[in-house]
Structure 1
Amino acid sequence: MRARVVGAVLGAAAVLLLAGCGGLPPGVDGNLTDNWPPMPPATISVPPAPACYDVTDPQPGMTKLPPVVDCGASHTLETVHVGGFSGADAATDVPPPDGGPVQQRAYADCTKTVDALVGGDWRTGRIGLDLTLPSPAQWEAGARWYRCDVVEFADLDSYAVVGRTGSMQGALTGPRPLALGCFKVAIKGEDIDTMVATDCAAPHNSEFAGVWDAPPGVYPADAGQRQSTQLNGCRGVIASYTGVPNDGMVRYRTGQITFGFGKADWDLGNRGARCYLWLDNKSLTRSLKGAGTRGLPVNTA
């Protein structure tokens, strides 16, 4: 035991001796950081909002966007709002699954914000709303934002996104430049061939009446069942819009055209269907809003 203690002491003294003999080279102060401040912790960038982007081909869910442009300049996509996940919603290792309750809450927040911006139900206009989440890699790195984007469609036939200048703020108020109105519908066989928007003072045979929302439930997988359900729901919307009784005679007053928003939107909480009245044997040059039974009589022909 004594020899071991002596040896340990001698070893320590040797180390001290070596350290004392060499000294430091000129210009070296022994500070390993050399007076540089510590690097800041890594941060995840959050998309700006409001912001506009000129994207060549906007697609839902784009996490990488070009530089921001002035909304007064030509652009194709407008970020209206950016929210953040928190609590249990943010504690997962991967982004929230499509159509799950976490995404539904984010989509509801987007809907509320966009409706307030445009001045009405965005679904009543040539407007598309997209919810974008971080990519799996961004989420793994700590990103917990979600983005609410809107685009303007040229029409609801092709759903082609068009460039515009100016924010969509107030797009469904005042002159309502993006609101759905009257249409000239051409039928080919039993299908709609074209549905061209036109001024209600010009000849037309169709008019947008509003949006019907299906009750909560599973998305109807059968196309025939979806169509039947939407037609039944839209009859009430058309009756209210035109001011006629919502009874079994509505179908003898006007035809109907309906378009749902699809399964992806349904799963997010948008169970709406756009409702249009349609007169296949008559042309109008005025709106039928509030026209009543005189303006929309029972068709006995």
Structure 2
Amino acid sequence: MRRITLVALAAVLLTGCSGTDGKVTDGLGALPVPSAAVPATGACLATGGNVAYNDKGDPSATPVDCAKPHKLEVVQVARFPDSAEPPGWGSPAMRAAYADCGKAASGYLGGDWHTGWLFVHVGRPSTAAWAGGARSYVCGVAEFQRTDWSAPALERTGSLRGTLAGGPPKCAVLVGNQPDRQGFYTRIAGERRTGCTELHDAELAAVLEMPDGAYPGDKAQADYLLPRCVTAVTTLLGLTREAFARRSELWVHFTWLDDENEWQAGERTSLCYAIVSASHQVRASLKGVGAGPLPY
């Protein structure tokens, strides 16, 4: 993905709760103190607002049957530890909540949420609700079609529960420009999901996680992620590194963790892809292709 990150931690869409948008602004429409409405795990929420990682405030949401159009699905409800004020962005309590929500999302979905074209959403009580004793945070997931900042959450029907079980291949079309002489983009802005039987130029090989610590710059990220991505891609393809280096029509692409707010929340993952030239896309999985021809 990134120079663009996986969209993550949008403003919460719940009456009585506020979003965690990197600046920890209070949500709109807080319920009267001391109570706040908290949805149940499995609840689906419809909204006319923009479900994205931004500073535009919290649009209102309405619980609906999951068979009806909605943008957000609740995967867990838990509680912050008590404190004088709602936890701030990047605080230990918020980082713990983000990690908890990610774990809950993967359990609910049946596989690592990072592989599912989803983002994790964490909602906390508004300042007024917190003062009235509210401590619940709401873990939700929303779905998107492509991985750039202009991509809104999808309005979907049906539950996401269990949809990542089985781990089918994950393929994508790269969104890029300035192709080199071999047709590989020199600038990649994101990925747009597609089926592996449709024309595509990228296939997910691994979810890589960087170690905790200070936010890393580009060089530190590349030094850590590139060799690990090459290992994952050669494993997917069934090639040695030497054989892979001889295949000029194949290469690797990994997503950058280029949003420090995400890093402060505890997000450390990069997606690693096997890629082919955009001018010679394929219609099948690259798994086990080895030294054979590509499935054009």
Fold agreement, TM-score > 0.5: yes
Say which SS state the counterpart of residue 218 (structure 1) adopts.
coil
Provide closer, same or farther for how the CA distance between residues 259 and 175 of structure 1 changes in structure 2, counting only shifts above 3 A.
Answer: closer
Distance 1:96 1:186, change over 3 A: closer
CA separation in 2, counterparts of 1:218 and 1:207? Answer: 30
Alignment match, 2:51: 58
Per the normalisation by structure 1, the TM-score is 0.71
Q: Which residue of 2 aligns with 1:181?
A: 171
1:101 deviates by 2.1
Contact 2:44-2:63 at 8 Å conserved across structures? yes
- Higher RCO, Cα 8 Å, sep 6+: 2
Secondary structure in structure 1 of the residue aligned to 2:86: coil
Which 10-residue stretch deviates more, 186-195 or 159-168? Answer: 186-195
Distance 1:227 1:138, change over 3 A: farther
The residue that corresponds to 1:14 in the other structure is none
Quick one: structure 1 residues 243 and 185, their matched pair in 2 at CA, closer, same or farther if it must change by over 3 Å?
farther
Compare the two structures and name the one with the higher helix fraction. 1
The 3 A distance-change label for structure 1 pair 93 and 255 is same
8 Å Cα contact 1:182/1:287 also seen in 2:
no
* 1:6-35 Cα distance to aligned partner (Å, 9 max, x none): xxxxxxxxxxxxxxxxxxxxxxxxxxxxxx
How far did 1:274 drift? 0.8
Structure 1 regions of 5+ residues with no counterpart? 1-41, 297-301
Spell out, residue by residue over 1:115-162, the C-alpha distance to the aligned partner (whole angstroms, 9 max, x if none): 111110010011111112122332222211111011110222443211
What is residue 21 of structure 2 aligned with on the other side? none
Gaps of 5+ in 2: 1-32, 180-185
RMSD: 2.9
Q: Indicate if the aligned counterparts of 2:172 and 2:191 stay in contact, CA closer than 8 A.
A: no
In 1, the alpha carbon distance for the partners of 2:58 and 2:78 equals 14
Closer/same/farther in 2, CA of residues 164 and 175 from structure 1, 3 Å limit: farther
Deviation at 1:182, TM superposition (A): 4.0
Mark the CA change 1:149 to 1:251 in structure 2 (over 3 Å): closer, same or farther: farther
- The answer to whether the aligner puts 1:275 opposite 2:272 as a matched pair is yes
1:191 alignment counterpart: 187
| Alignment match of 1:204 (pick from 189, 194, 200) | 200
Deviation of 1:104 after TM superposition, in Å, equals 2.0
Residue of 208, 229, 232 corresponding to 2:227:
232
> Could you tell me whether the CA contact under 8 Å between 1:257 and 1:275 is conserved in 2?
yes
Q: Is residue 2:215 matched to residue 1:219?
A: yes
User: Is the contact between residue 117 and residue 193 of structure 2 (CA under 8 Å) also seen in structure 1?
Assistant: no
Query: 2:159 aligns to what?
Result: 167
Q: Which of the residues 41, 64, 68 maps onto 1:69?
A: 64
Deviations 1:254-295 (A, max 9, x none): 322221343233223220001111222644332111333446
Q: Structure 2 residue aligned with 1:79, among 64, 74, 78?
A: 74
Q: Give 1:229 deviation, angstroms.
A: 3.0
- Percent of aligned pairs with the same residue? 31
Give, in whole Å, the separation in 2 of the partners of 1:290 and 1:269.
Answer: 34
Tell me the distance in 1 between the aligned counterparts of 2:143 and 2:46: 12
CA contact (8 A) 1:209 1:238 kept: yes
Q: Give, as a single letter, the amino acid of the residue that structure 1 aligns with 2:283.
A: T
